[in-house]
Structure 1
Amino acid sequence: MAPKTWEILIIKHGTRAARRSDVYMNYGFYGEPDDAFRLDYYLWVLRSGDDVIHVDTGYSAAGAAKRGREVLIDPLDALARIGLRADAGNPVVVTHAHYDHIGNLGAFSRSPVHIARREFAFWTGEYATRPLFAHYGDQEEIRDLVRARAEGRLREFDERVEIAPGVELIEVGGHTPGQLVVRVATEIGPVILAADAAHFHEELDRDMLFQSMADLPRSYAALDWLRSAPAAAIVTGHDAGELQRFAPLGEPLPGLAAVIGARRA
């Protein structure tokens, strides 16, 4: 029997116009002129036959409004357009617990939720509400994680775990204490969803770090790991050119989604 492979859908649900100095830590250290910069916001869906795994759930309308982020499509509407319901009980992977990755999690009320143990502990601990963390970690949304745990749906793990044949979660840390990447078996080979272990390809190409990192040495180590990992492709968390690197999905999400790997019936 052939190994199980997955199709990956990349769905863009938001965007933000910024400056390079807004997104890179200590940008002045690079001695380069500032310039306009755009970052996009994504969620990901893995499909193999009837099996579906959600990787992050985007930002909510409230989370976007609080931070001045543009909503291109409501993430739950985007999923509905491809025939997926949040209450269907499909597993959810939380790569990290920032507002733009766990917004809407409350709608996935029947889903098992996979998260690094260190990540959950941090966002329910004493430092999560400090200003430099609280801007990204919304306590109202963290409560959805706490609720999932109380209901017995939270699946915490350490370091790495295979949650389905061909889908491995690997804890790299750095951006947040328990930041995950997801390694997925596809028909083109292993694809790594870096999420915010690498926000942009420029981070990987030039060893630049995003402006908010919980642990600088681990952030650099995560970039080193990504650069050395055998992969057919690395998908970053916010690069504005990410959709153009892969085949467009077209309808029912024209201009907002791309696909990696062939779908299996």
Structure 2
Amino acid sequence: MQDWEILIIKHGTRATRRSDVYMNYAFYGEQDDDFTVDYYLWVLRSGDQVIHVDTGYSALGAAKRGREVLIDPLEALSRIGLNAGDGHPLVVTHAHYDHIGNVGAFTASQVYIGRRELEFWTSDVATRPLFAHFGDQAEVADLLDAQRDGRVRPIDGNATIAPGVELIELGGHTPGQLVVRVRTTLGPVILAADAAHFQEELDRDMLFQSMTDLPQAYRALDWLRASDAAAIITGHDPCELDRFEPLTGALEGLAAIVAPLGSPAR
């Protein structure tokens, strides 16, 4: 049985308000307050095998939307000995700007993405204002370049892409939103990406401000809560690094490794 380690890398952050994060926040009857949104990418490793999960936002994508860059995602990968051009597989959980901002640098990678996701972001609907803020047609063009190169592997439903790594299409946040179920020494761990942005979203059924399918977004949360996961890692919660073993060295303070607490971190 093959186990994987998961590296959680924080590359950006944003200070905002709760009312700017949760959909129809006034419906909850709660006082507004400050809120922090963090931005991550993930790396799966097992021996010499590496799988990238999402690529963070680009400097241009961050500047367009006033997001703070803590470290360039490609620089973060370089600091742990990885180069985007090395050809390791890349999973795109969904095609928002903060998850595909550097896809163009992964010039030799097989790219896994939900078929519905790619179809949606190449449709006429993708440029409508409520979607376009989170999308970026220049970055979608990088996905299309990979498709023309024969490197895109569309996912319908579920797919095992390596022993112990399963992609599961949940939808909701976006039409083809994927989560990644990973076999680890802790047990199965789910990278929820933006099927659940925050632990509070899971705990309290409070949906993020942007959803393409509200009923399915709730069903995605139900699916996550009913899963057999030893841990669910959300896409933007500031607590995620604190829940796992800090990564020492070049990414100290910006990364954690999903391993039993107290185990050696690299």
**Any idea what SS the aligned residue of 1:128 has?**
helix
Q: 1:179 aligns with which of 177, 180, 184?
A: 177
What corresponds to 1:154 in structure 2? 152
What corresponds to 1:206 in structure 2? 204
- What's the CA shift for 1:157? 1.7
CA distance in 2, matches of 1:210, 1:164: 31
What corresponds to 2:81 in structure 1? 83
CA distance in 2, matches of 1:68, 1:234: 28
**Any idea what SS the aligned residue of 2:126 has?**
coil
1:56-75 aligned at under 5 Å gives the runs 56-75=54-73
1:38-117 aligned at under 5 Å gives the runs 38-117=36-115
What corresponds to 2:9 in structure 1? 11
CA distance in 1, matches of 2:130, 2:107: 29
CA distance in 2, matches of 1:230, 1:250: 30
Deviations 1:67-116 (A, max 9, x none): 00000000000000000000000000000000000001000000000001
Q: 2:26 aligns with which of 28, 45, 62?
A: 28
TM-score by length of 2: 0.97
CA distance in 2, matches of 1:108, 1:145: 10
Q: 2:122 aligns with which of 116, 121, 124?
A: 124
Deviations 1:124-181 (A, max 9, x none): 0110000100001100000011000000000002001000000000000000000000
What corresponds to 2:231 in structure 1? 233
What corresponds to 2:220 in structure 1? 222
Q: Percent of pairs identical after alignment?
A: 73
Moved over 6 A (4+): none
**Any idea what SS the aligned residue of 2:14 has?**
strand
**Any idea what SS the aligned residue of 2:127 has?**
coil
Structure 1: segments with no counterpart, 5+ residues: none
CA distance in 2, matches of 1:174, 1:157: 16
Deviations 1:36-81 (A, max 9, x none): 0001000000000000000000000000000000000000000000
CA distance in 1, matches of 2:151, 2:125: 25
- What's the CA shift for 1:218? 0.3
CA distance in 2, matches of 1:84, 1:65: 25
1:154 is matched by which residue type in structure 2? V
**Any idea what SS the aligned residue of 2:30 has?**
coil
CA distance in 2, matches of 1:73, 1:144: 22
Q: 1:37 aligns with which of 32, 35, 38?
A: 35
Structure 2: segments with no counterpart, 5+ residues: none
CA distance in 2, matches of 1:250, 1:99: 28
- What's the CA shift for 1:250? 1.4
- Length, aligned pairs only: 263
**Any idea what SS the aligned residue of 1:127 has?**
helix
CA distance in 1, matches of 2:37, 2:134: 16
CA distance in 1, matches of 2:230, 2:217: 22
What corresponds to 1:253 in structure 2? 251
